[in-house]
Amino acid sequence: MNKPVYHNQKSSMVAFRADASLQIGSGHVMRCLTLAAALREQGAECHFLCREHPGHLIEMIEARGFTAHRLPMVHQDGVAVQESDVQSGHAHWLGASWQADAKACRSLLVHLAPDWLVVDHYALDAQWEAVVLPKPTRLMVIDDLADRPHRAALLLDQNLGRDIIDYADLVPVNCQVLAGPQFALLRPEFASLRDVSLARRRQHPQFRRLLISLGGVDKDNVTGQVLSALRDCELPPILNIEVVMGAIAPWLDDVKARAAELDCQVEVVVNVTDMAQRMANADLAIGAAGSTTWERCCLGLPTLMIVLAQNQWPIAQALAKTGGAICLGTPDRMDDLATKLTAMSSKDMLHTMSLAAETVTDGKGAKRLVKFIKENETGPL
């Protein structure tokens, strides 16, 4: 039986504030689920506070055994709102005013009385945190942007090239900042498959399996654009292509139709539960420069990266500098795809990129983070 993390055999309570939607994507909720699972292994009870955006993942959260508290889509005046009704920028990701969100979350958090509140949301900052946090709950923030202040006791930015100094003027002096992909929140199966995946690439570099994964939502149908670009490429006859998407992806039928137009074998799969194994089996990936970047690096999977959002540029550029991936740029730069694929057919190129990618992260970030929280549970945090 697992022992709880906190002293006096008291089961700890951790609350998460994160959202998924057609606009936001699934990455924030997915990495919070990874952390929640690691905390649960140490005896913690985890709850999620999520707004019911179109494309939310609340049922997935509940299916994984966590309690989810639903926040309705409302304006401050109580009128229901859809994401398309609000202005651009990260504020629209909230589906409500920050004051209304804080009021709803505060009510839930006072009742739950969690030891920690983990916030992974670009639309929330110090003004929301000041209102919502009940004493003695401590705040952990997961961020990628370093563009707004926080009142956090602990902050995680798992991105390559990020430095603690980037948050110097954005968090309290005593805030512990963990920066870099050594803390990337990956599910344990990635670390488990790492040695096998790396050994295969060193011994048998080849280009027979191409994995295409551009997020669970892909609201702009970049996957479809990639498949159309591949149709005009001279692909090896032995190539097998696997396309991974989420069930909520709005362009799923279009992707299947475009996949059928290719001359090589193409399989479109939905809501897979063995993504680590599929990445380990692949020889090359075409993927977004988001949080799955660290999954690919852990397994040494060379990647042609596509930048789907402005905040992904630093990740893409930093990883390209290591040699572990090639950045294609934004989706309108698909003209380069054929040239890059031709280069990737070289075993030497695949081998060199794999060696560079594997140095980025070993996939044990969640364990490191939970260990850090445990060791500091009664400290200055």
**How many domains are contained in the chain?**
2
pTM to 2 decimals? 0.90
Neighbours of 188 (CB within 10 A): 16
Residue 83's pLDDT is 44
Lookup result for tokens 């798992």:
158
Angle formed at CA 124 by CA 47 and CA 129, multiple of 5 degrees? 70
Assigned domain for 234 exists = yes
Neighbours of 378 (CB within 10 A): 8
* Of 4, 37, 14, 6, residue with least CA distance to 367: 37
Assigned domain for 310 exists = yes
The residues with which 325 forms a beta bridge, in sequence order, are: 303
How many CA within 13 A on the CB side of residue 154?
24
CA distance 218 to 212: 12
CA distance 372 to 291: 21
For position 130, which CATH number holds?
3.40.50.11190
Assigned domain for 249 exists = yes
Specify whether 368 is located in the same domain as 324: no
Residue 296's pLDDT is 98
Specify whether 76 is located in the same domain as 160: yes
Assigned domain for 380 exists = no
Beta pairing, strands 325-329 & 303-306: parallel
Assigned domain for 2 exists = no
Assigned domain for 1 exists = no
Specify whether 36 is located in the same domain as 77: yes
Specify whether 179 is located in the same domain as 276: no
Specify whether 149 is located in the same domain as 263: no
State the DSSP string of 149-179: ----SEEEE--TT--GGGGTTTS-TT-EEEE
- Residues of the domain holding 227: 188-358
Could you give phi then psi for residue 187, rounded to 5 degrees? -65, 150
Specify whether 286 is located in the same domain as 258: yes
Tell me, what DSSP letter sits at residue 234? -
Specify whether 228 is located in the same domain as 175: no
- Environment class of residue 336 by beta-carbon count within 10 Å: exposed (0-12), middle (13-18) or buried (19+)? middle
Specify whether 180 is located in the same domain as 314: no
For position 328, which CATH number holds?
3.40.50.2000
Specify whether 61 is located in the same domain as 74: yes
Assigned domain for 80 exists = yes
Assigned domain for 345 exists = yes
Specify whether 45 is located in the same domain as 116: yes
What is the separation of C-alpha 135 from the centre of its chain, rounded to a whole number of angstroms?
A: 29
Residue 87's pLDDT is 39
Specify whether 162 is located in the same domain as 209: no
Specify whether 44 is located in the same domain as 109: yes
pLDDT tens digits in sequence order for the chain, 381 residues long: 444 444 444 678 999 999 999 889 899 999 999 999 999 999 999 999 999 999 999 999 999 999 999 999 875 444 444 444 433 358 889 999 999 999 999 999 999 999 999 999 999 999 999 999 999 999 999 999 999 999 999 999 999 999 999 999 999 999 999 999 999 999 999 999 999 999 999 998 899 999 999 988 898 999 999 999 999 888 888 999 999 998 778 999 999 999 999 989 999 999 899 999 999 999 999 999 998 999 999 999 999 999 998 889 999 999 999 999 999 999 988 778 888 888 887 889 999 999 999 999 999 999 999 998 888 765 444
